[in-house]
Chains A and B, each alone.
Chain A
């Protein structure tokens, strides 16, 4: 018969125990495994003893409570699939909220299985932010851009424009940081296209890449922005 756990703990701690118990453990794999785990626990405690836990500020709980407050608890026997776009639509937090929303979708899908994902394709994407796209010189409206979130495809920037003249080059869509010093290309707008979606990551938005810019670029093997911006607008 296996000795009691406290005896195994004594062995792990290097204390002497009843000889018959010690003899049993010497020949018992499962008891030895427990002793091994207890020793590992001792060394983990040694490493973690000075680790200080940090409590989140009270505002975090307030935000959580606000987010879940209006989600009525369904009956335990009939859990309703969360309606992702509706939940996203309720989220009005700026910046990091968007990426967090995307993260939450991923996690919920992982936790509840295919429920969310299975329903996703039929759902309309949610507009998280939008902007007019105007010419830089005269401020004439030339189109618009929308930041869309859908459970099926994540975050997309949808660009809708009146036909633009690429000249002898092509049209490229950029996101410029609010610091106006950094920019990333998110793709090429095909000639004569009036609406095009570009996949983007939430962290770009989080980091302040919210200014949408459409530029005319030349085929010159220079990946940098040409400086020839046709339309621009800032997502909000």
Chain B
């Protein structure tokens, strides 16, 4: 199923793979909130999140030859890199905790914190939702987040009921596609 945004996304991926630095800027403009929020939610501090975000886009640039636009979305590819960088930061943290424990002569293994997949999923969906544009994103939030009826949404946004229903159906199909593409490449 061709989705509304598949073509520009694939085109951007091809330009990025070919070494177009402007494409990197566009990828950052489109996806840096996704990358940064995943890092922030999983690592819990702004400083680390900013460093991870920087590393992800630099690594994306240097590893751009591995980008396969046919395999999944650019967002999915970036989320995959983000997971790697975050896992590395977490592993470093865990090792350093173990070292500290060794110094204090405390016995027992220290659990390595894992990457919380639910958190990543939530942020991916929130980003995909935001990318739907308005009023579609707001309509879907009201419908599935706050569970308003279609009639209430139509009234609240002053839109015809048919338009609201159409936005919900198409928005839902688009989001399913976005999530599939991210999962295909970020796993």
Contacts and interface: CB of A to CB of B under 8 A. Distances in A.
A105 to B, nearest CB: 9
A107 B172 contact: no
Interface of A: 5-6, 9-10, 12-13, 34, 37-38, 41-57, 59-61, 63-65, 67-69, 71, 73-74, 76, 79, 82, 87, 96, 99-100, 102-104, 106-108, 110-113, 182-185, 201-204, 206-207, 223-224
Counting from the closest, the 9 A-B pairs by CB-CB distance are A49-B145, A73-B19, A111-B63, A203-B92, A51-B126, A111-B66, A48-B125, A9-B169, A45-B144
Q: Interface size for chain B: under 10, 10 to 19, 20 to 34, or 35 or more residues?
A: 35 or more
Contact of B55 (A43, A82, A103, A224): A103
A103 B85 contact: yes
B27 to A, nearest CB: 10
B175 interface: yes
A107 B63 CA distance: 8
Interface stretch (B5-13, B94-102, B154-162): B94-102
A104 B103 contact: no
B46 to A, nearest CB: 9
Nearest to A183: B103
B103 A45 contact: no
A41 B36 contact: no
Interface in B1-23: 1, 17-21
A28 to B, nearest CB: 16
B53 interface: yes
Contact of A44 (B96, B99, B179): B179
B50 interface: yes
B93 A203 contact: yes
B170 A6 contact: yes
Given A6-B169, A54-B40, A111-B81, A185 B103 contact: yes
Given A13-B169, A53-B123, A64 B36 contact: no
Contact of B95 (A61, A106, A203): A203
Nearest to A68: B61
A174 B95 CA distance: 16
B173 A55 contact: no
A10 B21 contact: no
Nearest to B124: A48
B103 to A, nearest CB: 5
B103 A224 contact: yes
A223 B101 CA distance: 11
A53 B57 contact: no
Contact of B37 (A53, A100, A108): A53
Contacts of B169: 6, 9-10, 13
B144 A49 contact: yes
B9 to A, nearest CB: 18
Contacts of A224: 103, 105
B34 interface: yes
A49 B99 CA distance: 41
Contacts of A44: 121-122, 125, 175, 179
A51 B62 contact: no
Interface string B33-46: 11111001000000
B115 interface: no
A52 B88 CA distance: 25
